Amino acid sequence: LGKCLLSPIVLAAYAYNRSLSELGPGGRSEDEPGVLCQLFAFLMAFFGLAPTLLLLAMALECWLSLGHPYFYRRHLTRRLGIALGPAAAGLCALFCALPLLGFGVPMQYCPGTWCFMRMAGGGPRELGFPVLYASLMGLLVLAIGACNVSSMRHLYGMARRQPRRGTPAAAAPRMEELDHLVLLGLMTVLFTVCSLPLIIRAYMGAFAADFNENADLSALRFLSVNSIVDPWVFIIFRTSVFRTFILRVCRRLN
């Protein structure tokens, strides 16, 4: 959904050879970016935070189902799962709308096809939101990493308890656990690497007064790469070809 909403805006800016502030209606003052740029900044913030919150929900579910199955069975219902998505989206939308209400300032980044919150060169009103956003992202990254590491530990223990030799049917549970183990590990590393640059840049801009637009833009690109690569990693790592490859590697190692 984020790519479908944001990509047409960027493509229109390139097609007309104009910046986002020039494409959309102007702001209330000359220094304020246009309405389209403000909308783009809101969508960038929202689609950076909302999937992260949903990833945390998925990591918590995985951890509870593997490590605390009785609690999971008793308290986690389908109704709760259905309500979790809209609730997370609503909370993220309210939080990311704070710059539109004056707490934080949207900013257009070179070459004029990106807009996000100003992460350096301002006072507490301008830099308070980026620091709060980065702190929240950092806490989510730590929580997701902790849940996934614990889930990986449980999966490894389950795989160790499976018989090493026997019929293909007997080896199937062990193979499935190894699949989940590798997938969780790779997605955790990928998610952490893509999220950390934005968190670091927000803190450096606020506390070290490091105004570097190119570095900020690189951090935004890293954040965008995560949402592009993650689905492909999930698709590729669930194929039979990859399972066969992992099985051969495990046999060699054994």
| Separation CA 100–CA 119 (nearest Å) | 16
pLDDT digits (tens, 9 = 90+) for 202-237: 888 777 766 777 777 888 888 778 777 777 777 776
pLDDT at 182 over 60: yes
With a CB cutoff of 8 Å and minimum separation 6, the contacts of 121 are 205, 209, 211
Domain boundaries, the chain: 38-161+170-253
Which superfamily is assigned to 38-161+170-253 in CATH?
Rhodopsin 7-helix transmembrane proteins (1.20.1070.10)
| Separation CA 14–CA 26 (nearest Å) | 19
| Separation CA 131–CA 207 (nearest Å) | 9
Q: Provide the β-strand partners of residue 247.
A: none
pTM: 0.73
pLDDT digits (tens, 9 = 90+) for 27-50: 555 556 778 888 888 888 888 888
pLDDT digits (tens, 9 = 90+) for 81-126: 888 888 888 888 898 888 877 777 777 877 778 888 877 766 666 6
% of the chain with per-residue pLDDT over 90: 0
